[in-house]
Amino acid sequence: MSVGARHIPDRMHSPAARLLRRWETLLLAVAIGIFIANSLASPYFLNAWNLSDATFNFTEKAMIAFAMALLIIAGEIDLSVAAIVALASTAMGAAAEAGAGVPVLVLVGLGTGLICGAINGVLVTGLGLPSIVVTIGTMSLFRGIAYIVLGDQVYKAYPPEFAVFGQGYVWWVISVELALFAVLAVIYGVLLHRTSFGRAVYAIGNNPTGALFSGIRVARVKFVLFLLTGLMSGVAAVCLTSRLGSTRPSIAFAWELEVVTMVVLGGVNILGGSGSIPGVVLAAVVLGLVTFGLGLLNVPGIVMSIFVGLLLIGVIALPRLWAMGRR
């Protein structure tokens, strides 16, 4: 070419500058702030076992939130996750009544999740329907089946060994659920941030047409994301059912909103295209700390949800207000 090529640097900002601009930095500061506030407000907060108990506030929801984060980054959503938990738990309960052992119960739970995810995936990618509509529909469908099967009954014929997932401890105060949460966080972090699959998720969320025109199999990627979300709902169903030791059709009621709250608080753009797994992990911790701290202070549940709502709006609005001031 006629003109000599100019060297273009890799990155505009230094690693430190990039870290400061990140949403996760803000979340970490919020988490530390809440931690300090909690330990000043209640003498029972700084106790290893109390803190360990507090993690159950978020571990199961966060497992779903990891897969949901990928789905929302890709520009889709699954509002049927809580209903999938209910249906998977119901299926496990029925299997337990029939005398199934622990491995079968786990397979039934995960399998139900996968099937539900596949149904959502086919409806969205095969028929081209909007996922918000499809999953509002399947939300009623899945939960409805659980109600028809169970009515006002309770399944609780779970074998004693099944309790290990929700009530077991790996080491000292580290519960099985907390360990699973950590392992899944790493797996999803690697999947989203370190693989070409994750890159495709971001590309689709920013511009689905452009992604298709770049040779990405957009429908296939989205289908896999619905499968993963269903699977993680199945995993959460195993943990929750094991922890409670029983199944009612109202199990995990309205969790879909808490999961989406966690994802959005974690910095995932609800319109798709951006977000991170470390952000979702921090958001899970922040929400867990807030509910636990308020619980120690005997704040009623209704007031607690007002707090969580204000926190969400506040943390989301702050950077936007800051950006508006600068423009």
Partner 1 sequence: MPDTPVLRLTGITKTFPGVRALSEVSLDLYPGTVTALVGENGAGKSTIVKILTGIYRPDAGSLHIDGRETRFASAQDATRAGITAIHQETVLFDELTVAENIFLGHAPRGRWGLIDWPEMRRRAVQILARIDAPLDPSTPLRDLGIASKHLVAIARALSVEARVVIMDEPTAALSQKEIEELYTLIARLKSEGRAILFISHKFDEIFRIADRYAVFRDGAEVGAGMIDDISENDLVRLMVGRDMDRIFPQRSRSLGDEVLRVDGFAHPTEFDGISFSLRRGEILGVYGLVGAGRSELMQALFGITRPSAGTLRIDGRPIRVRAPADAVAHGIVYVPEDRGRQGAIAGLPIYQNVTLPSLERTGWHGILRPRREFDLARTYAERLELRAAALDQDVGTLSGGNQQKVVIAKWLATEPRVIALDEPTKGIDIGSKAAVHAFMADLAAEGLAVIMVSSEIPEIMGMSDRALVMRQGLIVAELAGEALTPEALVRAAAGIGAPGEAAA
Site for partner 1, rule CB under 8 A: 1-3, 5-12, 194-200, 202-203, 205-207, 209-217, 273-274, 327
Residue with smaller CB distance to partner 1, 275 or 288: 275
Minimum CB–partner distance for residue 207 and partner 1 (Å): 4
Minimum CB–partner distance for residue 2 and partner 1 (Å): 7
267 Cβ contact list (under 8 Å, min separation 6): 23, 24, 27, 274, 275, 276, 279, 283
Minimum CB–partner distance for residue 143 and partner 1 (Å): 35
Return d(Cα 76, Cα 70) in angstroms, integer: 9
Residue with smaller CB distance to partner 1, 9 or 151: 9
Residue with smaller CB distance to partner 1, 10 or 152: 10
207: alpha, beta or left, given left = phi > 0 and alpha = psi -120 to 50? beta
Concatenate the DSSP letters of all residues of 39-67 into one string: HHH-TTSS-HHHHHHHGGGTHHHHHHHHH
Minimum CB–partner distance for residue 204 and partner 1 (Å): 9
Look at the block and give the residue holding tokens 């693989």: 195
Number of other CB atoms surrounding residue 305 within 10 Å: 14
Q: Is 3 helix (H, G, I), strand (E, B) or coil?
A: coil
Please choose, from the candidates 116, 108, 128, the residue with its C-alpha nearest in 3D space to the C-alpha of residue 78.
116
Return d(Cα 128, Cα 140) in angstroms, integer: 20
Look at the block and give the residue holding tokens 């094991």: 242
Minimum CB–partner distance for residue 29 and partner 1 (Å): 23
Tell me if 216 sits within 8 A of 204, measured CB to CB: yes
Minimum CB–partner distance for residue 221 and partner 1 (Å): 11
Tokens of 33: 């702030």
Minimum CB–partner distance for residue 76 and partner 1 (Å): 16
Residue with smaller CB distance to partner 1, 50 or 274: 274
Tokens of 176: 């099985």
Residue with smaller CB distance to partner 1, 217 or 309: 217
Phi, psi of 224 (to 5 degrees): -60, -40
Residue with smaller CB distance to partner 1, 15 or 160: 15
Residue with smaller CB distance to partner 1, 6 or 98: 6
Residue with smaller CB distance to partner 1, 73 or 286: 73
Return d(Cα 69, Cα 269) in angstroms, integer: 9
Minimum CB–partner distance for residue 82 and partner 1 (Å): 30
